[in-house]
Amino acid sequence: MKKKYSRRDFLKTGALASSAVLVGGTSLTESASAESMISDKASGALDITIAGYQLDHIRPLADGRVHVEGCDTTFKPGKIGDLNTHVFSGPQKLEVTEIGLSPFMLAYANQGFRDYSLIPVFPLRLFRHKSVFVNADNGIKRPEDLKGRRVGTPGYSSTSLTWVRGFMQHEYGIMPEDIEWVVSAADSSAKDAGKVSEQESLLPKGITVSVGPEGKDESDMLIDGDVDALFHAAEPKAFTAGHPKIKRLFPDSRATERDYYTRTGIFPIMHAVAMRNDVIEAHPWLPEAVFEAYSQAKQIHYETMRMQWIYGTLPWFGQEFEETRTLMGENFWPYGIDANRKTLDALFQYSYEQGLARKRLTVEELFHPSSLQFTEVS
């Protein structure tokens, strides 16, 4: 029988009762700094550290409004590149951590990594049509125009780039070998994302690739004409600064992405949550408790979003929230395997097709067996 978690279960934990009054979607007691570790101590419990970004739907867990049952929890803010490196080649002190999905896949498939397992919690997911940028002077108006062009990227085998190449191949017929790839010598997003990990720098056979000019990041290369286009998880600094030459390939990326979801049912996953296997072996109840805590935190955020139309600063936030729920359902950011198997299988397929993972991975390999049955009830 599948284990289900409902908002009623959440209310029983008393977590809502212990949370502060929300004004404009922000807790009056929410004072956690992104630079500090936030501790939630309960006597006699298991000490664990959870690391990751303090994203809106994670924040109730990070600031202590939500507790991991049976645990004294410390939340440690971290950048994804640094967290990847910590898990795959670092001290591995973190019991629970946000992790890049593609780096985890490649460490498992190619390097025999078995120290951590995933649980089906997905802190970050993004549609990636918005992540394709072009130099407007180069005449690239549609995806097919990318054939034979030079495309820059700071990390070839990152999760976001695997998704972009996947939909380029399956939606528009653009194969990775149709493009000349240029890996930038610097990454303008490193301040927010951390240094690109080893698993994000894999270059498969069969592609044409070179390294960009010394001292230039991916944004510089696009402005200076060293590349014709850019695939990047973050908006290049030239785009955010309003440089007239730098445009998105898909001008109305929102409409393109909504159409993609309507046709495919895929909501791309970027990050998952990983747990140390030795800790799980010693405390078999922990994956369930962690899953439930993340679910509870997300439910608090959903409730906050329902009030944003009154207290928020974006004039049409309420309409956007309603349209998203109409298209994607009430629980539009789902956890659990069943709700995400199609999306996960698509990424596994893309990674194998692109020569990144040496085998076609499965959910059952990457996710801890006890977590395969976890699901949510709204």
Question: Range of 186's domain?
Answer: 129-264
Please tell me whether residue 226 adopts helix, strand or coil conformation. coil
Q: Do 322 and 209 belong to one domain?
A: no
| Phi, psi values for residue 138, rounded to 5° | -100, 5
C-alpha angle 144-150-154 in degrees, rounded to nearest 5? 115
Q: Do 134 and 259 belong to one domain?
A: yes
Whole-angstrom distance, CA of residue 294 vs CA of residue 300 = 10
For residue 249 the two structure tokens come to 């390939």
Whole-angstrom distance, CA of residue 134 vs CA of residue 46 = 50
CATH value at residue 309: 3.40.190.10
Q: How many CB atoms lie within 10 A of CB 213?
A: 13
Residue 147 contacts residue 176 (beta carbons within 8 Å): no
Residue at which a domain ends, from 221, 249, 264: 264
Q: Do 276 and 199 belong to one domain?
A: no
Residue 231 contacts residue 189 (beta carbons within 8 Å): no
Q: What is the largest CA-CA distance in the chain?
A: 65
Q: What are the C-alpha distances in Å from 206 to residues 146, 155, 358?
A: 18, 17, 14
pLDDT at 160: 96
Whole-angstrom distance, CA of residue 274 vs CA of residue 115 = 10
Whole-angstrom distance, CA of residue 165 vs CA of residue 161 = 6
Predicted model pTM: 0.87
Q: Do 251 and 321 belong to one domain?
A: no
Q: Do 252 and 294 belong to one domain?
A: no
Q: Do 33 and 107 belong to one domain?
A: yes
| Phi, psi values for residue 293, rounded to 5° | -65, -45
pLDDT at 198: 84
Q: Do 139 and 49 belong to one domain?
A: no
pLDDT at 44: 62
Residue located via tokens 């992540």: 131
Q: How many CB atoms lie within 10 A of CB 79?
A: 19
Q: Do 120 and 183 belong to one domain?
A: no
Q: Do 170 and 92 belong to one domain?
A: no
Residue at which a domain ends, from 204, 236, 264: 264
**C-alpha 194: how far from chain center:** 14
pLDDT at 36: 35
Residue 300 contacts residue 138 (beta carbons within 8 Å): no
Alpha helix ranges (H) inside the chain: 7-13, 15-18, 59-62, 80-89, 101-111, 159-172, 190-193, 218-224, 237-240, 253-264, 277-282, 286-306, 308-311, 317-328, 341-353, 363-366
pLDDT at 107: 96
Q: Do 33 and 82 belong to one domain?
A: yes
Q: Do 99 and 81 belong to one domain?
A: yes
Residue at which a domain ends, from 233, 264, 295: 264
What domain count does the chain have?
A: 2
pLDDT, one tens digit for every residue, the chain (378 residues): 344 444 334 333 333 333 332 323 333 223 333 333 444 444 468 999 999 999 999 999 999 999 999 999 999 999 999 999 999 988 899 999 999 999 999 999 999 999 999 999 999 999 999 999 999 999 999 999 999 999 999 889 999 999 999 999 999 999 999 999 999 988 877 677 777 778 888 899 999 999 999 999 999 999 999 999 999 988 988 999 999 999 999 999 999 999 999 999 999 999 999 999 999 999 999 999 999 999 999 999 999 999 888 888 999 999 999 999 999 999 999 999 999 999 999 999 999 999 999 999 999 999 999 999 998 965
Q: Do 148 and 260 belong to one domain?
A: yes
